A = this chain, B = another copy of it.
């Protein structure tokens, strides 16, 4: 059966989406032109009408991921005011996203995607640092408005924020989805708040605990 002739812009979208789905299911290494083509419903060679080579597909996948990650942050900035609530919202959003789409850590932290291509590595680095700088920005705002300690190093805080997500993603990945991402996020969040929020805030919450007990 012959595939319906479809304009290249649409096909490109289909191809990138299919690639992302396949990566989520089987990883970057297992991603093959044949696999993508089959998922799209065309023959492998037809894929080359829309992409010059496999590398270009991977680049497009990276672009898609970057867009999704950053739109995540933008969304949260719009919906939620205040540094700490924003960070929490972002954390929970990631907890949800990772279980929905585990392709993100697989792609961003896969080695296969920058095999022998330093510029690709730079691109991945740019995605990560770009994301981190957004978080860092939120932290800096928190420091200015007094909700986050002055002696917190913003970069460190952003990396530690990533540290709540990344290991959890690892565990989730390795345990075949047998790790409760959301529970971890809920448990880790108050601890993280103690990490970075001002002493006044911590002491208040401590007093409250004392009164209760």
Which residues of A come within 8 Å of B, CB atoms? Answer: 26-30, 105-106, 108-112, 114-116, 121, 124-125, 128-129, 152-153, 155-157, 159-160, 162-164, 166-168, 170-171, 173-176, 184, 187-188, 191-192, 194-196, 199, 202-203, 206
Contact = CB atoms under 8 A, between A and B. Distances in A.
Nearest to A164: B163
A121 B29 contact: no
25 contacts: A26-B111, A27-B110, A29-B111, A30-B111, A30-B116, A109-B170, A109-B173, A112-B112, A121-B176, A128-B170, A129-B175, A152-B191, A156-B184, A156-B188, A159-B168, A159-B184, A159-B188, A160-B164, A160-B191, A162-B167, A162-B170, A163-B163, A163-B167, A166-B170, A203-B206
A171 B128 contact: yes
A202 B149 CA distance: 13
A194 B24 CA distance: 34
A114 B111 CA distance: 14
How many chain copies? 2
Given A29-B29, A159-B188, A195-B195, A105 B109 contact: yes
Nearest to A187: B156
B105 A170 contact: yes
Contacts of A109: 105-106, 109-111, 170, 173
B170 A108 contact: yes
A199 B196 contact: no
Contacts of A191: 152, 156-157, 160, 195-196
A157 B187 CA distance: 9
Contacts of A110: 27, 29, 109-112
Chain B CB within 10 A, most for which of A108, A109, A166:
A109
A167 B166 contact: yes
Given A28-B29, A156-B191, 14 more contacts: A27-B115, A29-B111, A109-B109, A110-B111, A152-B191, A156-B184, A156-B187, A159-B184, A160-B167, A163-B188, A191-B195, A192-B195, A195-B195, A203-B203
